[in-house]
Structure 1
Amino acid sequence: MESFRKVIKGWLGKVLLILFLTPLALVGIEGYFGGGNKADVAKTVNGQDISKKDLENLTKTYKDQYLSLAKGDETLLNQSYIEENALNTLIARSLLLQQAEKLGISLSDAQIEKMLAQQPSFQENGKFSETLYSNYLRSVGMTSQALIASLRQDHALKMLTSSVTDTALVSKFDLHQIAVLQTEQRTIHLASIKLDDYKKNINVTNQEIADYYNKHKNKFKQVASVDVDYIVVSPAQVSSAPAAVTEAELQQAYNAFVETQKKDAKRLVKHILITADGRSDAEAQKIANDVYAKIQAGTHFSEAAKQYSDDTSSKNNGGVVDAYQPGIFSKDFDQAVESLKNGQVSKPVKTQYGYHIIEVETAQVKLPSLEAEKARLTAEIQKSKSANAYTDTINRLNEMVVSTDALDSVAQELKGLRVESLNGVTLSTQHPLLSDPNVKAKLFNDDVKNGDRNASSNIQLANGDTIWVKVRNYHAAGVKPLATATAQVRAKLIEDKAFNAAQAKIQAVLNDFKTQPADQVVAKSGLKFESAGTFTRSQGLKREIERAAFSLTAPKAGMWSVATAKLPDELVVVGVSDINSKAADALNPEQLQELGNLYQRFRGQQELDDYTQYLKSHAKIK
């Protein structure tokens, strides 16, 4: 089974991996859509609007996913591609939803309600919890009806897409062919011919260089790059002896610590909710004020909650909001919770749900003494003072750099530092300092592109160091001019001519392999062949050699099939002495099933893409 997993990691596995790593599927994304304004439309699909808000939400989701792959480096992202990808996803989603509606693919309210009731996140002690469900709806700002409508669309998409992807046909012949391609073993022999001797007598004219350049300009594209000077300062280079800590500073730090401990203590949030259901807003407000007055007059909060609260999930539990989290109700509700002291009751607070009277109970906190915290607080204060001293030094150095437009002013102030330089830095350059996203944002901003060559202000690096940069030259993206590309073109033409000359010299040997036994041809050819071993596809051969080896037909007994591969400064003769296609027959049913599932999903996704493109070709999109 392990050997088969290695096979799956080959070329087919890579294709499937790329296919299945689509940033976001067409289904399961209902939560990203908020329903935009009718006038705020990005695209219209058969009369159905795609709002700009929905496009922004999905683009942000894609961007966040790509950022995680780019380790947070936004400079590596292609923003226009991400937005185009998001828009195409929304168009495809709209088309498939419209088609599902035409075909009558849908779930009933009862079916969806049953699914919700079975969700573990909405269950408590194995039963559906109205409280957990209500809290979820509040947290996402949706009504139950809106959630059901959203899930109906989501499942309609899933049912339609799965009806295509899950029914793609894979014949036994197709499966066998895939298995053969994946497991086929080829015995390979290699002979190397160095091109250096062939290059010595080759001349390339300026006209040849110009002709090749004009015909192949796309080969000479360059990404934007900069030549940059920089200087770095670390905290260790400006450190001093630990600062003294006064008793007053210790007392102040301890007081702040006590306040934080009290603030972070677990609090029990209770509320009495008076809604406007069946009554006017003014009537609801009056009832809330009356209830608040009764509590102030001596009525216990839990009794008032049981008698007056419209929140059925909490009224019989003293008004306790189970699993309270900020954002469940509103910002005003959360601010009231933060402002209340232990046992204090708020005046009525209005939210979208009605009027809330809130009470907070804070657990008692056992606080350590100042003496117990003295060592830790002293270390924290000293660390803070060192950080402040470093900041003051950086600010002073920064004023010098900005006013003089010179990085060497930093080196003159701090011994042991010097200005460093690096040419040809691009957005994808891997450098311990210049690859920092904040640095690249400075190196490649619009000001630099428009000619700004001033020294930057200080830039904080992720490791705590500080850097200043100064761009000397900016090289715009595009096609290299002929003058810049001449050396590259000349080297390319010399390489090609040398390869062709070497190929021509051994052509007779290559022809002999077609008609004569391999050992005879090798003996008289003068070429030194080495046995490279037996390989399957994607097993470590250089790409050019693998392509040549696996493009050859099966040799006859005692003979080799041969081809040539072009490597830098080298022509490689690739010989295949044996092809074993029987390894596929050794795959057990489990391995064949795994391969069949992969190929079936691949085919299914292809058919879904074709189906979506068909719908798109018959749609009115504007």
Structure 2
Amino acid sequence: MESFRNLIRGWFGKLLLVLFLVPFAVIGIEGYFSNGNSADVATTVNGQAISKKELDNVTQNLKNQFLQLPAINGDETLLNQNFIKENALNSLVGRTLLLQQAKKLGISLSDEQIKQMIAQQPDFQQGGKFSEALYENYLRNNGLKSQGLIDNIRQDHALKMLSTTIMGYSLVSKTDLARLANLQTEQRSIYLANINLDEYKKNINVTGQDIVDYYNKHKNSFKQVASADVDYVVLTPAQVQGNTAPVTDAELQQAYAKFVEEQKKAAKKEVHHIMITVTDTRKDSDAHKLANDVYAKLKAGMTFAAAAAQYSDDTESKANGGLISYVPGAYSQDFDAAVSGLKTGEISQPVKTQYGYHIIETNVQQVNIPSLEAKKAELTAEILKNRNANLYSDTVNNINEQVVGNDALDPVTQTVKSTQIQSVKAMNVFSHVSVLSDPAVKAKIFSDEVKQGDRNASSNIQLANGDTVWVKVRQYYPAGVQPLKNVAAQVKAKIINEKAYAAAKAKIATTLTQFKTEPAEQVVAKSGLKFQFAGEYSRMQQALRAPIQRAAFSVAAPKAGMWSVTTTDMQNELIIVAVSNVKKNGLETLSSGIVENVRQQAQGLRGEQDLDDYLQYLKSHAKIK
């Protein structure tokens, strides 16, 4: 993926990024280079294999996108793994079907067309002409092969052409525009009246059989996410104090020697090379001979920079003394071995790679290492810090053996008196409970082992802030419908509320009926209900509570002088929702900019539906195994 990240920084990367990001799939670049084999197949589409590696890559990309959402905040325990994998597989199947269809329709660019497009790019030109050396350097630096890149551009171009053709030419009528404009911009004048349900609840009797019948009829209303009753104890480094004995000279000398060694290792190594390539006009033997001749000139006194400028075929580095941005693995193992084995200022004999022959020079930048005296205070503090860290680590390890051995959290509190065991009931993956919200801790609490009955005390779990926690699941409640005994009180409350709501609604039934045939002012006057004007709202506004907004936009537009009325249940209240007026903004009343925005939205929605319909059609006629 690093090569892909580097690739997308330039003009060509922007082109590829557009081609990669089709509307229905997120594909990692690794997927384009995976060949797959019969022993590693996730599924086949009309005989064409989708490898498990491809599926894993797409699944991981989708997972990474979800993890970046604020609601998830990197917590993998909140993800529905099966849902993500299913969507990844669907996207790969859809992509494969579209590519197969594009091939049938002859949607393709030839090698020559793609090569011509590449040749016209300024980044690959020198003196106004295409430079093969610049192009080869680009491919090499990004870990790509020319034909592989051409094939992928052809494939992604075909995919984009087919999908954008389907989506871009969806027909949107003026009626469609008018309907969408009305939905988005109409304003409804809303009045509200409320009836408290407490009086209606007083004389409601609920039997045991009522509770059983309601529960059996509405079981899906009593589903629960997985939860657990958990005991836990936290140990912090501050609770374990180390040895404060004076730091000895021997400790300082040892720490200083380690510091010096680290500074030398961290010194930046510059890598220069002279590259002699094999071309149509230069055979391998000729390239090898030229490389040896250049090496001889270097040994005879010619400077590396002068030799690079005169002989190197690496046009990007030759003007800079052969300096390259060296990344291990970019050339070959032999190249890496030569770099590792060279001392500063040394020059290697010619090293062969797939790109030709390289003569390599390395230079390690000198570093100014402060004296022991200058570092004494810092090293002393570091030694004391390490003492505490070692003591903390030893304490954690000793406690951990006792916790695991005794299957209890008590050893923590017995060893470190300032700690205490805490308990939480019915914690689920969405709960925010102190250290238990840490992803590593939640992963333990809701692990497969716990689901299968493991109730043992955990081994120590290291938190990101350096603290340590041990947990013990006392009781685990699996996801699913809660048993009646756990929700009986909740069921009873629902029955009482529904009966009270029905009784209140029955009492005002006549009034609700009158709103259908009589002027609103007349009905309100004789109803005794106190309506208040809530304001004018569109569907896009979020000021109203959701049940009220749904109710207000569920009724038809009223006739002049009339109200369209409905009711909704809101926390021990029956709310009467009345719409007195609906102001529709026809297309002719909207600015051209708004109309165009609505048109684009309508076409986008229709285009997505058309593409989905097309994919469903292809799937219905495909052999997917």
Structure 2: segments with no counterpart, 5+ residues:
1-20
How many Å apart are 1:546 and its aligned residue? 0.8
Shift of 1:545: 0.7
Q: How does 1:1-80 map to 2 (within 5 A)?
A: 25-26=24-25, 32-39=31-38, 40-69=40-69, 70-80=72-82
> Which amino acid in 2 is paired with 1:423?
K
| 1:224 CA displacement | 1.8
Counterparts of 2:232 and 2:121, CA distance in 1: 56
Q: Which residue of 1 aligns with 2:169?
A: 167
TM-score, normalised to structure 1, is 0.86
Residues 21-69 of structure 1, C-alpha deviation per residue, up to 9 Å, x if partnerless? x997448755532233331322222232222222222222222222223
Shift of 1:525: 2.0
Q: Residue deviations 1:228-259, cap 9 Å, x none?
A: 00111222222458664444444444444444
Cα shift at 1:149: 0.9
Query: SS where residue 106 of structure 1 aligns?
Result: coil
1:314/1:518 Cα in 2 relative to 1: closer, same or farther (>3 Å)?
closer
In structure 1, C-alpha distance between the alignment counterparts of 2:454 and 2:286, rounded to whole Å: 62
The CA deviation at 1:105 is: 1.6
Bigger mean CA offset, 34-43 vs 259-268: 259-268
| Residue 239 of structure 2: aligned partner | 237
Counterpart in the other structure of 1:459: 461
1:423 maps to 2:422: no
Deviating more after overlay: 269-278 vs 591-600: 269-278
Deviation at 1:543, TM superposition (A): 1.6
1:577-596 to structure 2, matched below 5 A, reads 577-582=580-585, 586-596=589-599
Please tell me the residue identity of whatever aligns with 2:155: Q
How many residue pairs get matched?
600
- How much has 1:512 moved relative to structure 2? 2.2
* Matching of residues 556-571 of structure 1 within 5 Å: 556-571=559-574
Equivalent of residue 387 in structure 1, options 361, 374, 389: 389
1:382 is displaced (CA, Å) by 3.3
In structure 2, how many angstroms separate the alpha carbons of the residues matched to 1:478 and 1:83?
A: 22
1:488-503 map, 5 Å: 488-503=490-505
The letter of the residue matching 2:559 is K
CA contact (8 A) 1:184 1:584 kept: no
Match among 551, 555, 562 for residue 554 of structure 2 = 551
Does structure 2 conserve the Cα–Cα contact (< 8 Å) formed by 1:510 and 1:562? yes
Residues 563, 578 of structure 2: 8 Å contact kept: yes
Q: Residues 252, 340 of structure 1: CA spacing in aligned structure 2 closer, same or farther, 3 A cutoff? A: farther
1:597 corresponds to which letter in structure 2? Q
Name 1:108's counterpart in structure 2. Answer: 110
When structure 1 is superposed on structure 2, of 575-584 and 549-558 the one drifting more is: 575-584
8 Å contact kept, 1:42–1:49 = yes
| Structure 1 segment 165-564 matched on structure 2, within 5 A | 165-239=167-241, 244-272=246-274, 294=296, 298=300, 300=302, 302=304, 311-313=313-315, 320=322, 322-331=324-333, 333-346=335-348, 351-353=353-355, 356-539=358-541, 540-564=543-567
* Deviation larger for 362-371 or 594-603: 362-371
> Cα offset for 1:572?
0.5
Contact persistence 1:117–1:128 (CA under 8 A): yes
Distance 2:200 2:22 in 1: 49
1:434 positional shift: 1.1
Structure 1 residues 597 and 369 mapped into 2: Cα distance closer, same or farther (>3 Å)? farther
* 1:82-93 correspondence runs (5 A): 82-93=84-95
Give CA-to-partner distance per residue, 1:297-342, whole Å, 9 cap, x none. 6475747768987x55479558725333333224553354244321
Tell me the equivalent position of 2:9.
Answer: none
| 8 A Cα contact 1:191 1:574, kept in partner | yes
AA aligned opposite 2:171? L
Q: Which amino acid aligns with 2:62?
A: Y
The DSSP-based 3-state class of the residue aligned with 2:436 is coil
TM-score under structure 2 length normalisation: 0.85
- Alignment CA distance shift 1:375-1:135 (3 Å): farther
- Separation in 1 of the partners of 2:22 and 2:486? 39
Deviates more, 1:300-309 or 1:462-471: 300-309
Q: CA RMSD in A?
A: 3.5
Q: Is the CA contact 2:30–2:57 (under 8 Å) kept in the aligned structure 1?
A: no
SS at match of 2:601: helix
Identify the residue that residue 141 of structure 1 maps to in structure 2: 143
Counterpart of 2:610, as a letter, is: E
Cross-structure match for 1:600: 603
What letter corresponds to residue 533 of structure 2 in structure 1?
Answer: S
Residue-by-residue CA offset, 1:475-509 (whole Å, 9 max, x unaligned) = 12222233333333222222211111111011112
Distance in 2 between the 1:252 and 1:125 partners? 59
Structure 1 unaligned regions, length at least 5: 1-21
The answer on whether the counterparts of 1:176 and 1:584 sit within 8 Å (CA) in structure 2 is: yes
Equivalent-residue separation in structure 2 for 1:90 and 1:485 (angstroms): 43
Alignment check: 8 A CA contact 2:44 2:50 kept: yes
Q: Deviations over 1:166-188 (max 9, x none)?
A: 22222333222212211111121
Is the CA contact (8 Å cut-off) linking 1:253 and 1:377 kept in structure 2? yes
Q: Is the 8 A contact 1:30 1:154 kept in 2?
A: no
> What's the secondary structure of 2:437's corresponding residue?
coil
Asked if 1:154 is matched to 2:151, the reply is: no
Amino acid at match of 1:542: R
After TM superposition, the structure 1 stretch with the greater mean CA deviation from structure 2, 503-512 or 169-178, is: 169-178
Please give the per-residue CA displacement for 1:426-461, whole angstroms capped at 9, x wherever unaligned: 222222311211111111222222222111111111
| Contact kept in structure 1, 2:27 and 2:61, CA below 8 Å | no
- Residue 180 of structure 1 aligns to which amino acid in structure 2? N
What letter corresponds to residue 344 of structure 1 in structure 2? E
Report SS of the residue matched to 1:157.
helix
Cα deviation for residue 117 of structure 1 reads: 5.0
